[in-house]
């Protein structure tokens, strides 16, 4: 809920407007789990909030830990019983006292784009998430980090299940609420898209401070049509023009993501084509060795092929993303797919196994 709508609701309850700030702050405290624990409010107001509002639209259906407790994967149950995945990762300080904790949120239950290397793509789309469900994933993850002695949340990435710009209204509203109500700065928010060109233009106008990440994965239309089927609607020339316009309007450096798949997009030709477009868009490149998924023979290339690919990107800013959480199937959509396959996850989102599954 934005500050504005909360102030309107408080006026309706006969409460002063300054209470809104107090309630918003309390809403983001990771140790507060219900309106009833907002002890700073009068009891009658706590009851009124409880009667009129939902404290959280998501709850944890399952939780897994990896990386010695520094990565947590949450299966979030929505109020209609559907489930999405949220990941919280704590990274060691790069400079003293500056630890970062990143939350990765889902924007849709499943995804209609259907990229063949992605576990979410195989599920198809059930429905889009509301803005509240996106924001509440960040709050739930903040509480999970806090319970493990980690946090606070410093970064949010829209890289979970779903295509954020196919759900642009809720995505943008959630970004505005995060910026308005939490202490997360827009620069620390990244929206990843498979290439919805009109959505990229909208993003530049509505949320110019956030970082744009584009899941490129192929630098020729022929290959990208196969890897990211949305390319048939918005081919590379149109997509890259939208990326350049976004960069010019926002003065932010875009990121290109490249899920490296052995024998598919790891050739030197693709590397050189990627280098050209990255140079052209002044983009940072994130190379992600493919996480294997159930039912696909594709996987990451061997070390020598990866090295040759990276060496061909000379002169471009490149990060090789570490594959944290691989031991808990923490790549997009994999936890839900695995629990369904084991029939641990019932169709209504409840689990037929202990709530917490610890992985060591
Ligand atoms: N739908 C959006 C955001 C969610 S996916 C998008 O596609 O950008 C976030 C990132 O994870 C994307 O770059 C996606 O291509 C990548 N990804 C999906 N499945 C993967 C896998 N099996 N291994 C590595 N990266 C994967
Ligand atoms: Fe959808 Fe992104 Fe997965 Fe493609 S990679 S199917 S766009 S979630």
Which DSSP string do the residues of 70-87 spell out, in sequence order?
A: TEEEEEEEETTS-EEEEE
> DSSP state, 213?
E
Catalytic residue among 76, 118, 129, 332: 332
Contact 165, 197 (CB under 8 A): no
Whether 227 lines ligand 2, by a CB cut-off of 6 Å, is no
Q: Which of 63, 150, 137 is nearest to 101 (CA)?
A: 150
Buried b (16+ CB within 10 A) or exposed e, 145-182: bbeeebbebbbbbbbbbbbbbbbbebbbbbbbbbbebb
Report the alpha-carbon angle 60-353-153, nearest 5: 25
**Which atom of ligand 1 is nearest the CA belonging to 291?**
23
Catalytic residue among 15, 63, 65, 85: 85
Class of domain 1-55: mainly alpha
**20 CA → ligand 2 middle, Å:** 37
**39 CA → ligand 1 middle, Å:** 42
pLDDT of residue 358: 34
Q: What is the per-residue pLDDT across 167-178, written as a single tens digit (0 to 9) for each?
A: 999 999 999 999
Whether 117 lines ligand 1, by a CB cut-off of 6 Å, is yes
pLDDT of residue 2: 79
pLDDT of residue 334: 63
Which ligand sits nearest to residue 121's alpha carbon? 2
Whether 196 lines ligand 2, by a CB cut-off of 6 Å, is no
Whether 20 lines ligand 1, by a CB cut-off of 6 Å, is no
Pairing of strands 284-289, 318-320: parallel
**33 CA → ligand 1 middle, Å:** 31
Helical packing angle, 19-27 and 3-12, nearest 10°? 120
Whether 118 lines ligand 2, by a CB cut-off of 6 Å, is yes
> In the chain, which residues have pLDDT < 70?
93-97, 322-360
Which residue's CA is the nearest one to ligand 1's atom 8? 193
**326 CA → ligand 1 middle, Å:** 14
Domain boundaries, the chain: 1-55, 57-340
Best residue among 107, 297, 332, 333 to mutate for probing ligand 1's pocket (most ligand atoms within 8 Å of CB) is 332
Adjacent-strand bridge partners of 215:
257
Q: What is the per-residue pLDDT across 67-125, written as a single tens digit (0 to 9) for each?
A: 888 899 999 999 999 999 999 999 876 656 678 999 999 999 999 999 999 999 999 99
85 in catalytic set: yes
Whether 293 lines ligand 2, by a CB cut-off of 6 Å, is no
Adjacent-strand bridge partners of 71:
66, 89
Which residue's CA is the nearest one to ligand 1's atom 20? 118
- How far apart CA 223 and CA 189 sit, in angstroms, is 29
Which ligand sits nearest to residue 159's alpha carbon? 1
Which residue's CA is the nearest one to ligand 1's atom 19? 118
**Which atom of ligand 1 is nearest the CA belonging to 111?**
1
> What CATH number does the domain located at 57-340 have?
3.20.20.70
Whether 230 lines ligand 1, by a CB cut-off of 6 Å, is no
**113 CA → ligand 2 middle, Å:** 6
Tell me, rounded to whole angstroms, the distance of Cα 211 from its chain centroid: 12
pLDDT of residue 336: 67
Q: Which of 247, 258, 268, 257 is nearest to 314 (CA)?
A: 268
Which ligand sits nearest to residue 215's alpha carbon? 1
Q: Torsion angle, CA of 78/83/84/88, rounded to 10 degrees?
A: 80
């Amino acid at each position: 809920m934005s500050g504005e709508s909360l102030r309107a609701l408080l006026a309706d309850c006969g409460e002063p407007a300054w209470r809104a700030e107090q309630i918003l702050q309390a809403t983001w405290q990771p140790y507060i789990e219900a309106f009833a624990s907002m002890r700073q409010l009068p009891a009658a107001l706590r009851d009124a909030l409880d009667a009129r509002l939902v404290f959280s639209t998501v709850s944890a259906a399952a939780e897994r830990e990896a990386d010695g407790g520094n990565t947590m994967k949450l299966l979030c149950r929505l109020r209609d019983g559907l489930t999405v995945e949220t990941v919280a990762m704590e990274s060691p300080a790069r400079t003293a006292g500056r630890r970062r904790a990143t939350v990765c949120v889902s924007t849709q239950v499943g995804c209609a784009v259907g990229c063949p290397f992605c576990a979410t793509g195989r599920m198809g789309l059930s429905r889009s998430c509301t803005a509240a469900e996106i924001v509440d994933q960040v709050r739930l993850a903040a509480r999970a980090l806090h319970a493990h002695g980690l946090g606070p949340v410093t970064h949010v990435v829209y890289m979970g299940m779903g295509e954020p710009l196919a759900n642009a209204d809720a995505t943008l509203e959630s970004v505005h609420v995060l910026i308005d109500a939490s202490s997360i700065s827009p620069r620390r928010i990244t929206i990843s898209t498979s290439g919805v060109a009109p959505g990229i233009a909208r993003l530049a106008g509505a949320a110019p401070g956030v970082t744009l990440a584009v899941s490129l994965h192929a630098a020729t239309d022929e290959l990208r049509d196969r890897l990211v089927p949305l390319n048939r609607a918005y081919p590379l020339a149109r997509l890259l023009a939208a990326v350049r316009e976004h960069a010019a309007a926002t003065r932010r450096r875009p990121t290109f993501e490249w899920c490296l798949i052995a024998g598919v997009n790891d050739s030197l030709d693709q590397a050189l084509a990627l280098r050209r477009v990255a140079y052209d868009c002044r983009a940072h490149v994130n190379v992600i060795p493919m996480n294997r998924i159930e039912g696909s023979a594709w996987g990451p290339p061997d070390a020598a092929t990866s090295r040759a690919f990276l060496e061909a990107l000379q002169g471009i800013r490149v990060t090789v993303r570490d594959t944290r959480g691989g031991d808990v199937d923490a790549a997009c959509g994999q936890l839900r797919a695995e629990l369904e396959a084991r029939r641990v996850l019932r169709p209504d989102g409840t689990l037929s196994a202990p709530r917490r599954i610890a992985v060591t």
